[in-house]
Structure 1
Amino acid sequence: MRITKLGEEILRQKCEIVKPEEINDEMRELFNEMFETMVSANGVGLAAPQVGIAKRFFVIDVGDDVRRVFINPEIIKTSEETSSYEEGCLSLPGFSEEIIRPEKVSVSALNENGKPFVINDADGLLARCIQHENDHLDGVLYIDHGDEAYKQEVIEAMKRRAERAEKKAAAKEAKQRSIAAKKAAKEAKKNK
């Protein structure tokens, strides 16, 4: 799966609720693909908008051998105590920032089979990940919680990256068209 990058509109959209009838084998296969994509990109969480889907779900695997799926999650409680942690994001590769968030969080959601569950007082990396991925469902990125100057720096850097990638893709396409035209001309000459 392709991971969306900062600058793509879907990352700033508020996602839609998943309807019960949408939770089926096809969606469960999608969760598996998301886990594979996340792991291969060295991530611990991946939200639907990060793979181009404007729906309220995300997957998490914080290295405790538990693959967690959260559908229509709701954070029901956060602790007053906060902690700081260097956050990164698969949609902002190469960047990270110290972000302060509540230390503990309680969340209710549906699992991959549509069954409701609650996690009370999740802490550590799991709490951080739940908050980070849940933010994605509301179009919020971790840089929105940090230093404004750094946020602008990241946005500009990601814009430049996207422009370079676009130029590179256009040059590659032009080269392929040129090669195809030369082959066609050669073939036409041969057939005369």
Structure 2
Amino acid sequence: MVILKIVKHPAKILEQSCKEVVKFDKKLGKLLDDMHETMVAADGVGLAAPQIGEAVRVAIVDLGEGQEVIELVNPVVTAIGGSEVEVEGCLSFPGLYGEVERPFFVRVEAQERNGTLFELEAEDYEARAILHEIDHLNGVLFDSKIIRVVDPSEFEEMVEEESKEGEKR
């Protein structure tokens, strides 16, 4: 597996709508493997193909903590519900964090690396990460959805507080 260079804003590829994947082969499998390796090395939660210079409808989400890696090929949002505002960041926008409103629930139809169709339902942080990556595939960047920019030091404090709350549970 290879760690790829992450494309940074304002690269034009980040604002393009990506092409549907029609060939499910070893090349697609390698792309998904390399994307995961790249995302982990960058300490990310998700990565979309345009973020590594490929304008195809492929994204991954990995929340860690023993959860399965979600591979999304040609994802389509089929339902959303609820709403919440949370702080987000993006590997293509180093150092930028902001409050973004997104649905609390999402249902997605997508294909696996072998072309098999599947349906996925997610809530809360997982739904947010999936929707963030699908936005990338449609050329929609999170900075266009920011309600309030959050200073990086404020973001770090929020993460520390959440970590302490998790330890208390």
d(CA) in 2 for partners of 1:119 and 1:96?
27
d(CA) in 2 for partners of 1:113 and 1:125?
27
| Aligned twin of 1:68 | 70
Residues 153-190 of structure 1, C-alpha deviations (whole Å, 9 max, x = no match): xxxxxxxxxxxxxxxxxxxxxxxxxxxxxxxxxxxxxx
Give the SS at the match of 2:143: helix
1:137-176 aligned within 5 A: 137-147=137-147
The unaligned stretches of length 5 or more in structure 1 are 151-192
CA shift at 1:133, angstroms?
0.2
Q: Report sequence identity in percent.
A: 39
Judge conservation of contact 2:101–2:147 (CA < 8 Å) in 1.
no
Which has more strand, going by share of residues?
Answer: 2
CA shift at 1:146, angstroms?
1.8
CA shift at 1:65, angstroms?
2.6
Residues 5-24 of structure 1, C-alpha deviations (whole Å, 9 max, x = no match): 011010000111111xx211
Which has more helix, going by share of residues?
Answer: 1
Which structure has the larger Rg?
1
Judge conservation of contact 2:14–2:136 (CA < 8 Å) in 1.
yes
Residues 94-135 of structure 1, C-alpha deviations (whole Å, 9 max, x = no match): 111011111000000001111000013x10221001100000
d(CA) in 2 for partners of 1:71 and 1:26?
13
| C-alpha RMSD of matched pairs (Å) | 1.2
The unaligned stretches of length 5 or more in structure 2 are 150-169
Query: Would you identify which runs of 4 or more consecutive aligned residues in structure 1 move more than 6 Å?
Result: none
Give the SS at the match of 2:36: helix
1:96-111 aligned within 5 A: 96-111=97-112
Judge conservation of contact 2:108–2:120 (CA < 8 Å) in 1.
yes
Q: Does 1:16 align with 2:23?
A: no
Residue identity opposite 2:75 in structure 1: P
Residues 27-81 of structure 1, C-alpha deviations (whole Å, 9 max, x = no match): 10111110010001000100010000011110111114311110000000000x2
Output the TM-score relative to the length of structure 1: 0.73
- Aligned pairs, number: 145
Output the TM-score relative to the length of structure 2: 0.83
| Aligned twin of 1:115 | 116
